[in-house]
Chains A and B, each alone.
Chain A
C-alpha cells in the first residue's frame, strides 16, 4: 500500500459516512465561533427548534467588532455592540463557553485556539472565517466555512465534504536573516497565484518549514487561503508537541501520552503521492511587499512596481492597470520609494508574541517617522498582550511612538473604529490587500512585522536587513 499524505490520515480519521459519489460526512472536533458569522446560524437553529449537538466542542469569542481602545464603556457603535451582545446571548442560551470582551483570554479566534490548547493535532477544526486554515499548523485539518455550515456543525457536529486534491509546497534550505514566515507565505502566493491552491489541501514541508517556530507555521498556514487553499497544514513534530503541552485545554496525564502517540504519526509518509508539488529555495526568498490589490501582486523589497505593459496577458494587464490606479502608484516605482501614512501590526496572521518581538526589535531605540500619522500595535489576545508587557515590548513601542492597543481583529478588516481613510497608504502585517479592506479607498501593502516596524520608523518601505 502506498504511503498516505497528512491530509489523507486526517480525513480518514474523521469519516462518519461516505455516499456513493464520494461525498463524505466528516466529523468536526472543534468549532470556533465569533460574532460576525454566527448570529444567523443560531437564529436558524432556533427557528427549526434545534439545539447544538455538542456544546463542549464549541468555543466562542468576539473579535471582529471589539474596540482596541478603552473598553470600560463597552462598544460605542450600536450596530457592532448589538452583534457582540447577540453572541453573548446565544452562548448563554445554549451553554457555549465564551471568552467575553473583558476576559484576559479574549482575542482573535485564530490566536486563542492554539493559545488555549483548544486546537490540537489531529483535530478537524472549523470556524465561520476563512483564516481557520491557521490551525493546520498543528497537523490539524482546519478550514473556514460559511454561516449555513456553522449552523450545520452546531446541529450535527458534522459537515458534508468532498476530499480535496493534495498540494505539497516544499521549501528547502535556510532563510536569510530578516526573512520570516510571512515572506515565505507571500513568496509562495507570488509564485502560484491567489487561485493556485484552489481545490487543494496545502501541506507545507521541507527543511525551512521544519525550522519554523509554531508561530511562524501559523502565519504560513493562515495565508494558505490567500493562495486559494481552504486548508493549509504542517506535519506534527517535537515543536508542535512542546507548544501544546501544558495549555489549559490540552490533554493531561494518561490522555496526554495516548494523544502524543497518535500525534507523532501525523505526517505525510515518505512515499506519499501528492497531486501537485511546488518547490521553493528558502535562501532565495527576500522580504516581500505587495504593491497591488491582491496578495499575488507582490515583489521583493528591492524590486519595483511592475509596468502593466509587461503583464503576461490581457486580463492581467487590465487587473494591474486597475490595481495601480487604485493604489495610486506608477509602474517602475522602487518599492523603497513608497511612503506610508499608517502602519498596522496585528491580525490573525501576525499578532502573536514572536511577531511583536520581531517588530519591537526593529522599533527599539527608534522613532516613528513624523510623516506617519498612526502606527498601531494590536496584540492577538489578552494573554499575548500580558506576555508582551511582561517582556517590556509595550514600553519599546510606546517610546518609539506606536500606539499599544487592546486585542482584536482591528484594522485588518476595519469592522471596528480602526481604519484607513480614503487614499491613505498602510504598511500592514495582515493578510489581504483587497480594495477597501482596511477602509474604503485605503491602500494596503502586506509585509512582515519587522518590515512594518521599519516602514513606520523610516516613513517609507525599507529593507529591514540593512536598516
Chain B
C-alpha cells in the first residue's frame, strides 16, 4: 500500500456539505474491473459539461469552467478542503481510487462518512478531521490567497498553514502506523493465523451451523 509521511500541497476548496460517493465517481465508471485510471472521471458530472462514459476519451470533453477543480489557480492541488460528512453514501472504494489517481493525498473536513474514511487509509490518502470553525477559516484563507498550500505531517499529526500556524489533528494509532509505513493489512492479519484458527475451532463447537 502507498505510504503517507509528509505532504506540502496546494489546497483546493470544495464548498459543499454531504459530498457523496456518487458525486465523487459516478456509477457508470464502477463497471471497470481495474483499480487504476479513475482520476480523469473524478467528480465527472460537476467537472464536465457533457455526459461521461467508460472508455470515452476525456481530454477533449468540455470542462465546466465554474467547477473549482477546473480553475487554473488550483491545478496540481493535492489537498482537498471539504465540508461536513464528506464521502457519504455508497461504500465504493472507487471514490478514494479516483481521488488518489487525480493526485489528492490528503482531505480536510469537519467530518467524514465512516466507510469512506476507512477506505481512504487503504489507499494512501489521509483524511483529516478538523473543527468546523477552523475548516471555515481555512476556506476563507484558501479563497483569499492564491497558491494557498498546507503542510501535513502524519508522524507529528500536524497541519501547518502558510503563516506558520500549527494545527494538531487526531488519528487512530493503528491506522497511523499502517499508513506511515504503507503496510499490507492482509499480511499483518495473517500473522494472527493461530488465533483465527483457534477462534474457528471454538465456534465450530459453540455454533456449528455457521460452518455448514
Interface positions of A (Cβ within 8 A of B):
16-17, 19, 21, 23, 25, 27, 29, 36-37, 39-40, 43, 48, 50, 53, 56, 64-65, 77, 79-80, 82-83, 86, 120, 122-123, 128-130, 132, 143-149, 151-152, 155-158, 160, 162, 194-195, 198-199, 225, 228-230, 249, 251, 255-256, 258-259, 262, 294, 296, 315-316, 318-319, 322, 413-415, 432, 434-437, 440
Q: What 4 A-B pairs are tightest by C-beta distance, nearest first?
A: A251-B209, A146-B93, A39-B33, A148-B122
> Contacts A146-B118, A148-B122, A262-B207; is A228 near B26 (CB within 8 Å)?
no
CA distance A162 to B117 in the complex (A): 13
6 A-B pairs in the complex with CB atoms less than 8 angstroms apart: A27-B196, A29-B210, A120-B210, A147-B93, A198-B114, A436-B22
CA distance A45 to B66 in the complex (A): 42
Is there contact, CB below 8 Å, between B196 and A155? no
The number of inter-chain residue pairs (CB within 8 angstroms) is 189
Apart from A16-B196, A37-B30, A43-B33: 19 A-B pairs, beta carbons within 8 A: A27-B203, A40-B33, A79-B31, A79-B55, A128-B91, A128-B93, A143-B115, A146-B122, A156-B196, A229-B114, A255-B208, A258-B209, A296-B18, A315-B84, A413-B27, A415-B27, A432-B89, A435-B23, A440-B26
CA distance A122 to B54 in the complex (A): 41
CA distance A413 to B25 in the complex (A): 12
> Contacts A130-B91, A194-B85; is A157 near B196 (CB within 8 Å)?
yes
Interface positions of B (Cβ within 8 A of A):
15-18, 20, 22-23, 26-28, 30-35, 45, 51, 54-55, 83-85, 88-93, 96, 111-115, 118-119, 122-123, 172-174, 185-186, 189-190, 192, 195-196, 199-200, 203, 207-212
Is there contact, CB below 8 Å, between A415 and B35? no
CB distance from A205 to the nearest CB of B (A): 21
Cβ contacts under 8 Å, A249 to chain B: 212
Is there contact, CB below 8 Å, between A436 and B203? no
CB distance from A117 to the nearest CB of B (A): 10
CA distance A290 to B113 in the complex (A): 21
Cβ contacts under 8 Å, B15 to chain A: 318
CB distance from A426 to the nearest CB of B (A): 15
> Contacts A146-B118, A255-B209; is A434 near B89 (CB within 8 Å)?
yes
CB distance from B141 to the nearest CB of A (A): 17
CB distance from A420 to the nearest CB of B (A): 12
Cβ contacts under 8 Å, B118 to chain A: 145-146, 149
> Contacts A156-B196, A157-B196, A319-B17; is A198 near B31 (CB within 8 Å)?
no
Is there contact, CB below 8 Å, between A151 and B92? no
Is there contact, CB below 8 Å, between A122 and B207? yes
Which residue, A48, A145, A296, has most C-beta atoms of chain B within 10 A? Answer: A145
CA distance A452 to B147 in the complex (A): 50
Is there contact, CB below 8 Å, between B45 and A440? yes
CA distance A48 to B199 in the complex (A): 25
CA distance A36 to B30 in the complex (A): 6
CA distance A249 to B211 in the complex (A): 11
- Contact partner of A435 (CB less than 8 A), chosen from B17, B22, B200, is B22
CB distance from B185 to the nearest CB of A (A): 6
CA distance A39 to B207 in the complex (A): 31
Is there contact, CB below 8 Å, between A434 and B209? no
